[in-house]
């Protein structure tokens, strides 16, 4: 924060131009105050530089952690094809993908086609789908091979 330092320098210039007697009480008080302000400005400057370095460092750690998580947690929810089911919409033929967890969810969840809003799957035993959802095993394996 060069601005703070230059403002303190400006105050020093002002006080120098005021013809205050250096040894008067007022003169000593004023120069002491300006000295303290100068110290504050320097400390603030150093703190700010340290803070910026810390932020850069933290950012690089965050990026490293993110790529590490990507490699380690292959089965993060919503990040892996193994966790997805797909079903063909009986009305418009759109392939609708949804989270595999929905199948086992205790609440009744309806999956609707994003294309025509037709209900394509309900995680209810009484619901009979024309096209049973299938795991995307073929696609998942193919992508794993690409990773190698």
Q: Give contact residues for Zn ion (rule: CB under 5 A).
A: 89, 91-92, 94, 113, 115-116, 118
Residue owning tokens 């020093």? 12
| CA distance linking residue 122 with residue 130, whole number of Å | 12
Nearer to Zn ion (CB atom), residue 8 or residue 85: 85
Q: How far is the CB of 136 from Zn ion (least distance, A)?
A: 19
Nearer to Zn ion (CB atom), residue 119 or residue 135: 119
- Please answer whether residues 102 and 109 qualify as being in contact, where contact means their C-beta atoms are separated by less than 8 angstroms: yes
Nearer to Zn ion (CB atom), residue 59 or residue 131: 131
Q: How far is the CB of 95 from Zn ion (least distance, A)?
A: 10
CA dihedral 104, 109, 112, 118 (to 10 degrees): 110
Nearer to Zn ion (CB atom), residue 89 or residue 111: 89
Q: How far is the CB of 139 from Zn ion (least distance, A)?
A: 20
3-state secondary structure of 143: helix
Q: How far is the CB of 54 from Zn ion (least distance, A)?
A: 51
Q: What are phi and psi of 113, to 5 degrees?
A: -70, 125
Q: What angle do CA 41, 26, 22 make, to 5 degrees?
A: 85
């Amino acid at each position: 924060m060069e601005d703070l330092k230059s403002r303190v320098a400006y105050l020093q210039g002002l006080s120098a131009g005021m013809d205050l007697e250096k040894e008067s009480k007022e003169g000593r008080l004023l120069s002491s105050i300006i000295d303290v302000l100068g110290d504050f400005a320097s400390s603030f400057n150093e703190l700010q530089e340290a803070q910026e370095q810390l932020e850069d460092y933290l950012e690089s750690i965050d990026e490293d952690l993110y790529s590490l998580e990507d490699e380690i947690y292959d089965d993060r929810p919503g990040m892996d094809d193994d966790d997805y089911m797909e079903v063909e919409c009986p009305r418009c033929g759109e392939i609708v993908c949804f989270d595999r967890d929905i199948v086992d969810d205790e609440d009744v969840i309806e999956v609707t086609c994003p294309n025509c809003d037709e209900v394509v799957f309900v995680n209810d035993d009484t619901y009979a789908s024309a096209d049973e959802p299938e795991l995307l095993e073929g696609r998942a394996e193919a992508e794993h091979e690409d990773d190698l």
